[in-house]
Structure 1
């Protein structure tokens, strides 16, 4: 579990399973990235980095329009792959300016959800994270 959640590098992360790897600006134990502001496991790291999350660390909740979220981001379900007790969802994040490059990004993520409770295709959802993102060494 330690190696799965805290791999030594990008190649190990991808070898051990699906991974969400993205650029971020890290400061004071927090990463600012396409997913918003999320905690990291290396509070002493500061500056540009690549962070890693596992798809099961991404949590979806229906977006009703009236809530304002300090952390996380919005996305739209573009595909559902039903697999019984687990459904793999493709979520397209709303375009935003990357905290590191300053460029507008369009990113799709794979998210695992309960097969029966998965939001339908076309739904707008709020994406938040469970646990800390792992700062990949050497970024």
Structure 2
């Protein structure tokens, strides 16, 4: 399976702008710019898109691992904060809240750690990955 997205950038770094379109068209000429990346401009940015991908991938992987252990997931909410410092993504932190029927907190935390290390997006990132998780 292969997926794709296309970015078109026009102009200089600070004054220019771009549009991103994903294969599914979920992103369809979605704007991004220096301001949306480093200031408070309208549009998305690469770090936000990585955070979206990481939180979504992690949530699916955690759900799979919980299901494999015979527990039923009611909900998993994952926020991902990607940290960009001096032009490098140095970290991705996952904040997880989940409702899972019948699981102990110890078993849940073990599965969170396993998902953190094994979701495909975690594997591709060369940044420090961390998480905090609350079972509700």
Which band: TM-score by shorter chain? under 0.3
Q: Which has the higher contact order (CA 8 A, sep 6+)?
A: 1
Larger proportion of helix: 2
Larger proportion of strand: 1
Q: With structure 1 as the length reference, what TM-score do the two structures score?
A: 0.27
Bigger-Rg structure (1/2): 2
